[in-house]
Amino acid sequence: MHHQGMDEKQDWKDRLPYPYDQDLSGVLRHLDRRTPSSRAKLANNPATAGYLAAAMRLVERHLGPNAVREPVDPDDINSIDRPLLRFLSQREIVAEMTRNPDPLPRRGSVAALRSTWRSQSDFIADVLSFALWPKQRPPEFGREVTIKAERLLGGPDFVDGVHDLAYFSMRTALGRSSFRFELAALAEAEGDDVLKAALAETYQGPLEPWKRIYEAFGKAHGLRLRPGVTLDDFADILAALETGLVMRAIGYPQDRIIDSQSHHSLSGTAVLAVILGCFERTEEAAGLTIEQAVHELVYHRPNRVDTTSAAQ
**Per-position b or e across 12-44, b if 16+ CB within 10 A of its CB:** bbeebeebbebebbebbebbeeeeeeebbbbbb
Amino acid 302: pLDDT: 64
Q: What single-letter amino acid sits at 145?
A: V
| DSSP, residue by residue, 66-119 | S----BSSTT-TT-B---TTGGG-HHHHHHHHTTPPTTS-----HHHHHHHBSS
Element (H, E) at 175: none
Instruction: Judge whether residue 186 has pLDDT over 90.
Output: no
For the ranges 35-39, 159-163, 253-257, 264-268, the lowest mean pLDDT is seen at 253-257
Amino acid 79: pLDDT: 44
The pLDDT tens digits of the residues spanning 101-155 come to 988 889 889 899 888 988 888 888 888 888 888 777 777 888 888 888 888 888 7
Are 30 and 194 a contacting pair, CB within 8 Å?
Answer: yes
The pLDDT tens digits of the residues spanning 52-80 come to 999 888 888 777 666 565 655 555 554 45
Q: Would you tell me the crossing angle of helices 231-251 and 177-188 to the nearest 10 degrees?
A: 100
Higher pLDDT, 79 or 294: 294
Q: Mean pLDDT across the stretch 188-198? A: 77
Amino acid 3: pLDDT: 46
For the ranges 29-33, 226-230, 274-278, the lowest mean pLDDT is seen at 29-33
Instruction: Judge whether residue 190 has pLDDT over 90.
Output: no
Q: Does the pTM exceed 0.75?
A: no
Domains of the chain listed by start with CATH number: 2-131 (no CATH), 139-281 (1.10.357)
For the ranges 4-18, 195-209, 271-285, the lowest mean pLDDT is seen at 4-18
Which residues have C-beta within 8 Å of that of residue 32, sequence separation ≥ 6?
115, 116, 117, 118, 122
